[in-house]
Amino acid sequence: MKLAIEQSSQAVVETVSPEDDTLAQAAVDSPQAFGELYRRYAVGVYRYLYGRTGNQADAEDLTAQVFIEALESLPRYRPRGQFAAWLYTIVRRRAVDRLRRQRPQFSLEWLDGHQTAADTPLGQVIHREDLQRLADLCSQLDKKKQELVHLRFAAGLSYAQIAQINGKSEAAVGMALHRLMKWFQDHWEDENE
């Protein structure tokens, strides 16, 4: 009982996603393991990079670069339960390189060819115009806050993972997001008045 508790505690404290580490270790020798990691993170990485670049071509190009670099760098990854943080270090470095001379913009261009939930009777609350207003609000955020939005809502990362990436406590991330949501809400309601 005691041993189990200690080991469990160790796992909880040190790892957000222990399976990632196991896979990352295995992926050095196993293409299948790398494929599994890819499938776990590719969509989030793509969405994050789309949020940073605002266009599909850049997002796809950078996504490919990220995973090629990750593949080559995996032997140097030290499993400490921070695979997401390690991967997003690569992601963000690639994004910064690309955007050094380009202002990122939230773009809803991609919606042009797609039906959204907002366009259906089932999604009456969110309309295309609402998304545009949200995108406009996002454009007003400073880079740190935009980054929080990307990590949370595009990449779908947990507070713990964002905390690892940003070197903050989980509570600080939670509070920052909480406050950010209030900012959105205040501005949203202001515009509605």
Partner 1 sequence: MSSKDSRSMIEAGLEQMYPAADRDFLEGLEATLLTQATEHTAKSGSAGRSIWAALGAPLRRRTASLALGLVVVLTMLIGIFTPQRVFGAVLWLLGGRVYVPGVGIVDANTVRVLAAPVEASRDGVTVRVVSVIAKPDITQVVVEVEGMAYEDQIPYILSSYLLLPDGTAIGRRLRYIRTGFFQPVYEFAPLPAGVFEFELVWEPWTKRRAGDAGDWWQDTSQALVIPLTLVPGENLDTPVLPQAYALADASDTHYDITLEVLEVIQGLKETVLRLYFQWPGKFNSVYVDTGGGMELRSAHGEVFEHNRFALENQIMVVDTKNNQAPVAERYSFTEQTLVFEPGAPDARQLTLQIDRVSVWLDALEISFELDLGADPQVGDTWPLDVWFEAAGVPVHIVSARLVESTFYRRETNEEVPVYALEFSVGPRSDQGNHFLLSIDFSSIDGVGNLYGDYYEDEKPHGYVSTLRVPLKDAEHEMPTGVITVRVDSVDIELYGPWVISWEVPNLDNPTSDE
Site for partner 1, residues 18 to 57, rule: CB under 8 A: 18-19, 22-23, 25-36, 38-40, 42-44, 46-48, 50-51, 56
Residues 6 or more apart whose CB falls under 8 angstroms from that of 156 comprise: 44, 47
Residues 6 or more apart whose CB falls under 8 angstroms from that of 75 comprise: 28
Indicate the residue among 165 and 176 with the shorter CB distance to partner 1. 176
Q: Does 191 bind partner 1 (CB under 8 A)?
A: no
Indicate the residue among 59 and 87 with the shorter CB distance to partner 1. 59
DSSP 8-state class, residue 120: S
Q: Which ranges of 74-110 would DSSP assign to H, the alpha helix?
A: 83-99
- The one among 62, 85, 87, 138 contacting partner 1 by CB under 8 A: 138
Question: How many other C-beta atoms are found inside a 10 Å radius of the C-beta of residue 82?
Answer: 22
CA distance 19 to 81: 9
Q: Does 96 bind partner 1 (CB under 8 A)?
A: no
Question: Among all chains, which residue has been given the structure tokens 């994004």?
Answer: 95
Site for partner 1, residues 51 to 90, rule: CB under 8 A: 51, 56, 59-60, 63-64, 67-68, 71-72
Indicate the residue among 90 and 111 with the shorter CB distance to partner 1. 111
Question: How many other C-beta atoms are found inside a 10 Å radius of the C-beta of residue 137?
Answer: 16
- The one among 76, 100, 178, 193 contacting partner 1 by CB under 8 A: 178
Closest approach of Cβ 96 to partner 1, in Å? 14
Site for partner 1, residues 139 to 158, rule: CB under 8 A: 139-140, 142, 144, 149, 152-154, 156
- The one among 62, 84, 134, 162 contacting partner 1 by CB under 8 A: 134
Closest approach of Cβ 37 to partner 1, in Å? 10
Indicate the residue among 5 and 76 with the shorter CB distance to partner 1. 5
Q: Does 97 bind partner 1 (CB under 8 A)?
A: no
Closest approach of Cβ 93 to partner 1, in Å? 19
What interhelical angle do 83-99 and 18-27 show, nearest 10? 70
Buried b (16+ CB within 10 A) or exposed e, 40-59: bbeebbbbbbbbbbbeeebb
Pull the structure tokens for residue 24: 């990352």
Pull the structure tokens for residue 75: 């032997």
